[in-house]
Amino acid sequence: MIADRFDRYLARNVLAAIIVVQLVLLGLDLVITYINDLGDVEGDYGAFQVLLYLLMRLPWRLYQYAPVAVLIGALVGLGSMASSNELTVMRAAGRSLARILWGTMKPIILVVVVLLLVAEFVSPRTEQFANAWRLEKIQGTGAVVTQSGGWQREGDSFYRFGAIRADDTVLDLTRYRFEGQQLREATSAERAVWREGRWELEDVAVTRFEEGRTEAERLDRQPWETALTPAQLSRLLRDVESQAPSELWAYAHYLRGQGQQATLPLLHFWQKILMPLTMASLVLVAASFVFGPLRSVAAGTRVFYGVVTGLVFKYLQDLLAPASTVFGFSPAWAVLAPTLICAALGLYLLRRTA
């Protein structure tokens, strides 16, 4: 009974610290981004609309700042209990270091579940809606809802897409069809419209390349035979980082089916799927700072080292991402390597105190 009270008290303190740190990070980010984005005020997109746009994007920001919030929150929560000698009392009452660590991990499980639900069901939709709403305020109804520009390969054809609108109309589409290494046909269309389950190109210019000559043709309309649906095309043109894990997996599968590398979507996929291990390793580092060599320093110093550790962790993942493409190792290892290094560092520092 007393052991359960200890666990609940420890979990409550750590979770409260994580929530406070997360709110502080989100608040600072909101203020700084708001001031920066005031330069984008245009048309119906005024200062109040800028604020609404940033509020719509809070779920994505919540997910982005979560690892740092967990690290600093665990440092603050455990550090405050260490400063008031509460952890010393717990250990004197027979609580082992492993049991205290388990009590610290319990609220992290709740945090991870919430973040995975946000990453899968909330942030991809709020990001897409926020971008569509912002651009419609600036450009009017029917504005582009995804980022402009994008290249895709399908079979023997390469496509360049200008953008896609809210009504599933693709703007400024260009197709290059090859036979082996030879360019055989270039097609450009002002629009591609989705009607009755199929695509139709409008205002089309076709150039065919034959041996020693070329043929040019202009058409009002032309069918576009492709396996891409509006939903798939919208996903391909959206920012990869903000997509849901299921969308990232489908995107990677599509790219591999087209004979292309899928490093980037797989990297973000593994970052989200392996988040429980990432959070656990960061908590181990935080606990090692409280119980290990930094237990006698001021709380501010511990937080500073925690921030530095979090930044090193992020930059290491960012460096390993392109390295996985250059050296050909799995993107999963680009995520796992910093996680395992953090976990090993935390366990090493904790063992020195055992």
Q: Which of residues 2 and 64 earns the better pLDDT score?
A: 64
Calpha distance 33→317 (Å, rounded)? 24
Q: How many domains does the chain have?
A: 2
CB 147 within 8 A of CB 237: yes
Among 176, 198, 226, residue at a domain's last position: 226
Q: Are residues 48 and 127 in the same domain?
A: yes
Q: Which domain holds residue 178?
A: 151-226
Calpha distance 15→287 (Å, rounded)? 14
Structure tokens at 257: 């089916």
CB 115 within 8 A of CB 41: no
Over 60: is that where the pLDDT of 111 sits?
yes
Calpha distance 149→237 (Å, rounded)? 8
* pLDDT attached to residue 354: 58
* pLDDT attached to residue 136: 79
- Residue 32 in domain: yes
- Residue 254 in domain: no
* pLDDT attached to residue 327: 80
Structure tokens at 101: 């660590």
Over 70: is that where the pLDDT of 149 sits?
no
Q: Are residues 25 and 125 in the same domain?
A: yes
* pLDDT attached to residue 223: 95
pTM of the model: 0.85
- Residue 241 in domain: no
Q: Are residues 111 and 159 in the same domain?
A: no
Among 162, 195, 226, residue at a domain's last position: 226
Among 167, 198, 226, residue at a domain's last position: 226
**Contacts (Cβ under 8 Å, ≥6 apart) of 115:** 62, 63, 66, 275
Distances from the Cα of 107 to the Cα of 11, 19, 61, 224, angstroms: 6, 11, 20, 52
Q: Are residues 97 and 186 in the same domain?
A: no
